[in-house]
Amino acid sequence: MSDLQERARALDAADELAPLRELFTLDDTVYLDGNSLGALPRHVPARLQEVLTREWGELRIRSWGESGWWTAPERIGDRIAPIVGAAAGQIVVGDSTSVNVFKAVVAATRLAPEGRDEILVDADTFPTDGYIAASAARMTGHRIVPVAPAEVPGALGPRTAAVLLNHVDYRSGRLHDLPALTAAVHAAGAVSVWDLCHSAGALPVDLDRHGVDLAVGCTYKYLNGGPGSPAYLYVAARHQPVFDSPLPGWTSHADPFAMTPGYEAADGAVRGRVGTPDILSMLALESSLDVWDGVGIEAVRAKSLALTDFFLECVAEYVPEGRVSSATPAAHAERGSQVALRCEDAEPVMGALIARGVVGDLRRPDVLRFGFTPLYVGFADAERAARLLADVLAG
């Protein structure tokens, strides 16, 4: 056994989060793709079976009231709130991240002072965010200004209405400075919108503490909600009385069952709702969130940094020199919970790794991505992944 293998065993033995792995359906595969799709918590199938057989099968329409279906979007939002540092009553669950980006960006332009016609967008944003923001700009008469997150303070001005940024870059895993950037946006009189898809459940976000205006995120990555599980929308309490959604659906009406032709928005985060909730996936998400009971996000962050540090150390030790280089910042303050390695032949390399039982993913043309989900990934996983990567690259 190598020194790194021995260290991995010792680190796993001392890991306070290690027992959480037993809450998930996992096998001997080293699963480092939780930043794309989280693993299945073991208890969720039984919960879904109950929903199917009793709540839908027996109670049917009565479950909207008796089983709490109608209030699920806000109830589950309140379960997510502590993970992203928000007080209750500010998050509503539903729709996709893309739909929520549209709601948030348009609503942000409506919250901004009059006369402002620019929307700043992360130049390297996840493509959908850019597509949606561009469409929102066309519809509202605004102009899109692509800018690197680090350059946002210098790009802000009296014409800036809103700024849409990713907390963690999906390719490189770079963590952007949410507190400082939010403060800069506010100093310019603009409205901040943050995409938390690659940070929620992996590191502290502290939305309330840092005064974020609006935020969106998915739930199928680090929150383990399942494929296509509903996204969420955060609307800071101070904005809720005037939050003007561009998609005023019937379930966000103050009296939805009155079925009146005129729209009157409900109070609170309910304003972020649109249509009938997707109950099956929503309740699967709610059940998945049970794995977070008693888990502190600071402990998750500490393990995430330790895991990624150790993985990078193992890569440096095992992988032939010059075969890969890290695109992920070494500084903890600039790192999310993934490691991106640049590699010339990334696609066949990842294919070979998956065949050997290490599942990551890639971003063309040359990025190998390894996501570290602290609730179920261990140090032995990190060491094995680096060792098998070295074997693939040497062979």
Catalytic residues: 126, 195, 220-221, 369
SS3 sequence of the chain: CCHHHHHHHHHHHHCCCHHHHHHECCCCCEECCCCCCCCCECCHHHHHHHHHHHHHCCCHHHHHHHCCCCCHHHHHHHHHHHHHCCCCCCEEECCCHHHHHHHHHHHHHHHCCCCCCEEEEECCCCHHHHHHHHHHHHHHCCEEEEECHHHHHHHCCCCEEEEEEECECCCCCEECCHHHHHHHHHHCCCEEEEECCCCCCCCCCCCCCCCCCEEEECCCCCCCCCCCCCCEEEECHHHHHHCCCCCCCHHHECCHHHCCCCCCECCHHHHHCCCCCCHHHHHHHHHHHHHHCCCCHHHHHHHHHHHHHHHHHHHHHHCCCCCCEECCCCCHHHECCEEEEECCCHHHHHHHHHHCCEECEEECCCEEEEECCCCCCCHHHHHHHHHHHHHHHHC
